[in-house]
Structure 1
Amino acid sequence: MIASLSTPVLLDYLKKCRWFAGKARQVESCMVKHEIPVGDAWIWILEVAYEEGDKETYQLPVALVEKLPDNPAEQTLITETEKGLLVDAIYTDSFRNVLYSRVFHGDKDEALTFTTGKGLQIQDVPEHISSRVLAVDSSNSALVFGEKYFFKLYRKLFRETNPEVEMVQFITENSDFTQIPPFCGSMTWRRAGATDITLGMMQGKVEARMDNWSLTGDYLNEFLYAVPNAVFTIQENVFEQVALLGKRTAEMHAALYNPQAEVNFSPEPFTEGYRRFLQQRLSHLLNSRYTLLIDKYLSLDEPTKRLAWKFMEAKELIDEFSEDLLKQPLDSLRIRIHGDYHLGQVLSADHDFILIDFEGEPEASIQDRKIKHSPLKDVAGMIRSYHYAVSSKVFTSDETRHISPEKLLVVTDRWYRLMKETYLDAYMEALGWPHPLFKDQNEINSLLLYYLLEKAVYELGYELSYRPDWVKIPLKGIADVIREIEKMHG
């Protein structure tokens, strides 16, 4: 096989691909480091080195063909060679057939291991099945088999197993929780003397109407249209949907709580090392956000300046709160969690919800994505997402543009508090009380405040850098936490 294409040829091709994350960086070299045979195709493991920063590793399946498939995608052709057209193999029927067959049979060879998951009910599934490439603009590639199974081919590779595959496989194989696309199989690169690397995962295909961010936006329309008339209205079905999501969140965490699980998934206490990790993370976030906020302060509008000033004035209070929390005895437990939980990670299907994308926080290292946290970190992420849903709708709509920002802050806060209370009540009821994950209500309150603060401070950095008009949203979230801390100290 031709594994010696020049950097310019490979780079020209990579720049056409949505999944290549290095487009804005200065590439020093791009080369094929490994070549893994798969049927009549190969999987190339590419190493991309940059003039600055760490190298990146990508997966590129390749095949030689005489002619392009009908209606080829822009990313199909890599280059022309003396032996034929070199194409991305996912666009060939033969490569997709081999992937499916090897997952179906659970094959393995010297380099690759294919597993067959519980979600692939062999007795009901044909050994040969139709397939296509899903036209998605994503950081990975998606293949569909028989309109029943969804295969995610991971393009950017990490130097160990993918947390999403671990999470989906664990939930599917060890619980009765059915509100995720079930684990059907995986493809893993086995490296001699090194950690295995996940190359792909197959799940059950879900027919979803929309994600819950869009659904919540639809529910907010009636509320939004009433605001200019000084009417506060929320339909009962909105509360029902929020409560159902609280219940499904609790069921997900109950599925991940398994005292008999192997070490990667067994519950753990709040160790000294984890406490230090939390403290260092929050300290770093706070320092970087304070610096950014000072730089941008004069460009903020008056309501946002007042919120910013409250945040900056409360630095000592926040430091004291986090230090006290992490020094006191904590008997609640930590488990593997979703890690990037928000309304966009929830699909609406058949009047219920499907939870997706268990890869973890995008900016975190692969090791940090596997750290066990209190499930309240996921809860805080979803609560903050509801705050964003109402704020982004109300603050950016033509219907409310003539209303003062101060008034809009009050209105959004009322809606958000009702959704927060509804979601939390349903979550705790579904989880059951008492539950080993939480010692008592005091620890729940303190930990939830901590994770809400951490999430809002994290959001603040993004808004200051990219959406200055939205800075008020995380600042309001921070101000809410500060008020609750003041109550605890009062």
Structure 2
Amino acid sequence: MIHLTTTQIEHLETQVFPTYFNTCRWFAGKARPQKGFHILHILPVGDAVILIVEATYHDGAPELYQLPLAEVELEMEVPVKGVIEKTDTSQWIDAIYDAGFRHQLYTSIYGQLALSTDDGQLQATKGRGLAEADAPEVIDSRVLPVDSSNSAMLFGGKYFMKLYRKLFDQTNPEVEMVSFLTQHSDFSNIPAYAGSITWQRAGQPDVTLGMMQQAIRAEKDNWALTGDFLNDFMYGVPSGMFGINESVFEQVALLGKRTGEMHLGLFAPGAEEAFAPEKFDDFYRSFLLKRLTDLLDRRYALLIENYDKLDEPTQRLAWIFMEARELIDDFANEMLTRPLDSLRIRIHGDYHLGQVLTDKGDFIVIDFEGEPEATIAERKIKHSPLKDVAGMIRSYHYAVSAKLFESAETKGISSEKLQIVSDRWYKLMRDTYMDAYLEAFGWPHPLFKSQNEINFLLLFFLLEKAVYELGYEISYRPSWVNIPLRGIVEVIREIEKLKEPTVRISRLGMQS
């Protein structure tokens, strides 16, 4: 096993990490003025160690990162990004590139081993996805060539392991969600939970280091599948043909059904507190209102600041949004006073077409970590499942808008006509998805007390999502600002309908 001396630790902290960390895709602090790096804990894992490294900054809170460390021979071939430092006799590497370290991770989960540390233990837990399969005790492994915020390994082509790089003083929400759905529900459209490794310390919260799931061989994600649907649809647009294959409706309806089944799996009356359904209490209502109003304040300021940079059609949409501030505020404030008997549960939290993989005509839901910019505590807050639904509906809106407005085939068509065509396609997909989603629950269901509550909550979360998207597009893709603005304007029109007492409202708040 590696034994780091005080001199070696100081060398790594001051001479190696300031450069190495900033070359790593998983290090989130590149843009922040960095103060330093400090090894807080050294956790032994076989012949390697896991370093718990604190990154400190001149402004803001520090962050914790996991860096597995192994010492190997100079002759061993290691990807450049995996080499931490070379000495005259050996090389220090990210241990995920060491087969011995990967073997130790697998055997620990397989045997549910507890590895002692100075102030606790590393506890490995086996899940149903490994226990029920014909899992071998010894298995080959490799690092997957994905460059993301975590590291990925594949074991025997059967099990996928995600090693979390940025750490939090709480159990990772993804492990909780995937474990719960695998162990306590009938929902099978996820990569089944196979196990995890947590760092347990006396009197302190457990820290999740990694999770293993059954590997799947998906054909593509649903964003790409929807793009294929739209390619077929788009070819008829220049000649005035509006045609959608029936198989598209079948696939969208199936996704709605699977989404409903996922939420049914998470609806667990009598479950442990972390997953038991809750009411819309005053504290939660205030939380939702404050989050939306803060978001609105920031987006209005950003929009005013960048208004002159927008093209004329986008300026018209922005003006409708700005003029509707009082209407929006009144609608948002109803969150505090409107009677709500629907329930809230743990949800996916970052649900969109890219989080759903297609597999043999069906769907697999992945990535249950929650909103990337939210804290771990915020990711575990229970919401109406309609928040996930709103995310998927917005994703369909993005898919058709990006395809029709950005494709060479439609460049000669006026933006007004493209707007009409895209709206028709989007609303058909939205209604198909929503009908199948609610049908999966049966009626009535405790999660959705009434159609009126569904209307209100769905519009609230659609507004929140579109307003959130607006900030990203203004900052990073100005040519796409019209997409979230169109989504906001649609919600404004639906709010106006809700204010008209003579209008009969259907499931989605549409006039009928």
Please confirm whether the aligned pair reaches a TM-score higher than 0.5, indicating the same fold.
Answer: yes
- The answer as to whether partners of 1:26 and 1:50 remain within 8 angstroms in 2 is yes
- The answer as to whether partners of 1:164 and 1:359 remain within 8 angstroms in 2 is yes
How far is 1:296 from its partner?
1.1
How far is 1:468 from its partner?
1.1
How far is 1:465 from its partner?
1.0
Give structure 2 stretches of 5+ with no counterpart.
501-512
- Give the equivalent residue in structure 1 for 2:110: 104
Determine helix, strand or coil for the equivalent of 2:368. coil
Report sequence identity in percent: 62
- Give the equivalent residue in structure 2 for 1:91: 97
- Give the 3 Å change call, closer, same or farther, for CA 112–83 of structure 1 in structure 2: farther
- Which deviates more, 375-384 or 218-227? 218-227
How far is 1:238 from its partner?
0.8
Matched, 1:366 2:376: yes
Matched, 1:9 2:16: yes
- The answer as to whether partners of 2:387 and 2:461 remain within 8 angstroms in 1 is yes
- Alignment partners' CA distance in 1, 2:133 and 2:251: 36
How far is 1:320 from its partner?
0.6
- Alignment partners' CA distance in 2, 1:285 and 1:73: 42
- Alignment partners' CA distance in 2, 1:74 and 1:170: 38
- The answer as to whether partners of 2:112 and 2:125 remain within 8 angstroms in 1 is yes
How far is 1:93 from its partner?
0.9
How far is 1:77 from its partner?
1.3
Which amino acid counterpart does residue 394 of structure 1 have in structure 2?
A: L
Matched, 1:131 2:149: no
- Alignment partners' CA distance in 2, 1:240 and 1:372: 30
How far is 1:255 from its partner?
0.2
Aligned with residue 37 of structure 2, among 11, 30, 42: 30
Matched, 1:283 2:286: no
The count of aligned residue pairs is 489
How far is 1:123 from its partner?
6.4
- Alignment partners' CA distance in 2, 1:311 and 1:200: 43
- Give the equivalent residue in structure 2 for 1:346: 356
Determine helix, strand or coil for the equivalent of 2:56. strand
- Alignment partners' CA distance in 2, 1:82 and 1:186: 37
- The answer as to whether partners of 2:13 and 2:39 remain within 8 angstroms in 1 is no
| 1:375-386 mapped onto 2 (5 Å cutoff) | 375-386=385-396
Determine helix, strand or coil for the equivalent of 1:195. strand
- The answer as to whether partners of 1:270 and 1:334 remain within 8 angstroms in 2 is yes
| 1:184-199 mapped onto 2 (5 Å cutoff) | 184-199=194-209
Give structure 1 stretches of 5+ with no counterpart.
none
Matched, 1:77 2:83: yes
- Give the equivalent residue in structure 2 for 1:63: 70
- Alignment partners' CA distance in 1, 2:333 and 2:32: 39
- Alignment partners' CA distance in 2, 1:90 and 1:212: 30
- Give the equivalent residue in structure 1 for 2:503: none
- Alignment partners' CA distance in 2, 1:74 and 1:181: 31
- Which deviates more, 318-327 or 162-171? 318-327
Which amino acid counterpart does residue 19 of structure 1 have in structure 2?
A: W
| 1:148-227 mapped onto 2 (5 Å cutoff) | 148-227=158-237
Q: CA RMSD in A?
A: 1.2
Which amino acid counterpart does residue 62 of structure 2 have in structure 1?
A: K
- Alignment partners' CA distance in 1, 2:377 and 2:34: 26
- The answer as to whether partners of 2:113 and 2:124 remain within 8 angstroms in 1 is yes
- Give the equivalent residue in structure 1 for 2:484: 474
- Give the equivalent residue in structure 2 for 1:229: 239
- The answer as to whether partners of 2:285 and 2:335 remain within 8 angstroms in 1 is no
- The answer as to whether partners of 2:70 and 2:93 remain within 8 angstroms in 1 is yes
TM-score (norm 1): 0.98
Which amino acid counterpart does residue 297 of structure 1 have in structure 2?
A: Y
Aligned with residue 489 of structure 1, among 472, 478, 499: 499
- The answer as to whether partners of 1:64 and 1:83 remain within 8 angstroms in 2 is no
- Alignment partners' CA distance in 2, 1:278 and 1:321: 13
- Alignment partners' CA distance in 2, 1:352 and 1:32: 45
Matched, 1:357 2:367: yes
**1:240-277: CA deviations, max 9, x gaps?**
11001000000000000000210000000001000000
Which amino acid counterpart does residue 101 of structure 1 have in structure 2?
A: T
- Alignment partners' CA distance in 1, 2:308 and 2:81: 45
**1:124-170: CA deviations, max 9, x gaps?**
21111111101101110001111000010000111211000000000
TM-score (norm 2): 0.94
How far is 1:83 from its partner?
6.5
Aligned with residue 295 of structure 1, among 293, 298, 305: 305
- The answer as to whether partners of 1:58 and 1:155 remain within 8 angstroms in 2 is yes
- The answer as to whether partners of 2:349 and 2:368 remain within 8 angstroms in 1 is yes
How far is 1:303 from its partner?
1.4
- The answer as to whether partners of 1:303 and 1:406 remain within 8 angstroms in 2 is no
- Alignment partners' CA distance in 2, 1:339 and 1:122: 29
**1:301-333: CA deviations, max 9, x gaps?**
121111111111111111111112331210000
- Which deviates more, 294-303 or 311-320? 294-303
- The answer as to whether partners of 2:74 and 2:86 remain within 8 angstroms in 1 is no
How far is 1:194 from its partner?
1.2
- Alignment partners' CA distance in 2, 1:229 and 1:68: 63
- Alignment partners' CA distance in 2, 1:286 and 1:207: 41
- Give the equivalent residue in structure 2 for 1:259: 269
- Give the equivalent residue in structure 1 for 2:47: 40
- Alignment partners' CA distance in 2, 1:429 and 1:423: 10
- Alignment partners' CA distance in 2, 1:475 and 1:316: 17
After superposing on structure 2, the runs of 4+ consecutive aligned residues of structure 1 that deviate more than 4 Å are none
How far is 1:192 from its partner?
2.4
Determine helix, strand or coil for the equivalent of 1:190. strand
- Which deviates more, 454-463 or 404-413? 404-413
Which amino acid counterpart does residue 473 of structure 1 have in structure 2?
A: I
- Give the equivalent residue in structure 1 for 2:504: none
